Amino acid sequence: MVARKPEHKTKRLRRSPDDAKALLIQAAKEELLASGGSFELARVCQRAGVSPGLPHHYFGSKSGLLTAVVRDYIERLEAAISDMAVAEGSSWADRERERVECYVEFIVNDPLSPYVLGSLAATPEVLAVASESLDRVIAEGTRNFRRGQQGGAVRTDLPPDVLSAAVHGAVRQVTLQALRGDGSIDRSSLVGVIWALVENWLTD
């Protein structure tokens, strides 16, 4: 009688929901970069090493996964320019120049920037997340400019919310325009140009 070999069952790797979502988001980012701004769920699943149904389980659809990718990008951008990311103890103007530096560094360094802020900017997924972010950023900027006005560092003839919207829009557009160039961005010069414009607006 031939002895039966013991059966070895392959254990399926169990991931927490947060880990599974993070894995899919990272794979979708990589596919966006590899394909020049788009992705297919099948390729994302293949890259992540997961079953084809997992993106639908956690995000509902391809659109839901793209929204998650964009939200992750926006959250990281907001964190990069938050008060916690800017040095304490300096003057209001010095802190705001540093915030501009943080913004430029993030936009230039993150390879998703040309897609989230450029070619994909008009898609419903990006527009929805960007609109929510814009409201938060302008609200925070309004509080910040109000403090600057109270401290005498910012002109008082314009409402702080108008200043916040104008400065945020200008900084974003100048940075994006530089990003569309040949890739050889002198970040120090770019920050200098942006800050000269901002400082001129805020002190006239």
Q: Which of 14, 15, 48, 18 is nearest to 31 (CA)?
A: 48
Write down the pTM of the prediction: 0.85
What angle is formed at CA 164 by the lines to CA 204 and CA 191, rounded to 5 degrees? 75
What is the tens place of the pLDDT at every residue in 148-175?
A: 999 999 999 999 999 999 999 988 888 8
Supply the pLDDT for residue 2: 53
CA distance 130 to 151: 31
What is the pLDDT averaged over residues 96-109? 91
CA separation, residue 50 to residues 17, 70, 74, 107, 137 (Å):
13, 21, 26, 31, 36
- Measured in residues, the chain has a length of 204
Phi, psi angles (nearest 5°) of residue 148: -65, -40
What is the tens place of the pLDDT at every residue in 14-64?
A: 778 888 999 999 999 999 999 998 889 999 999 999 999 999 999 999 999
Cβ(153)–Cβ(162) below 8 Å: no
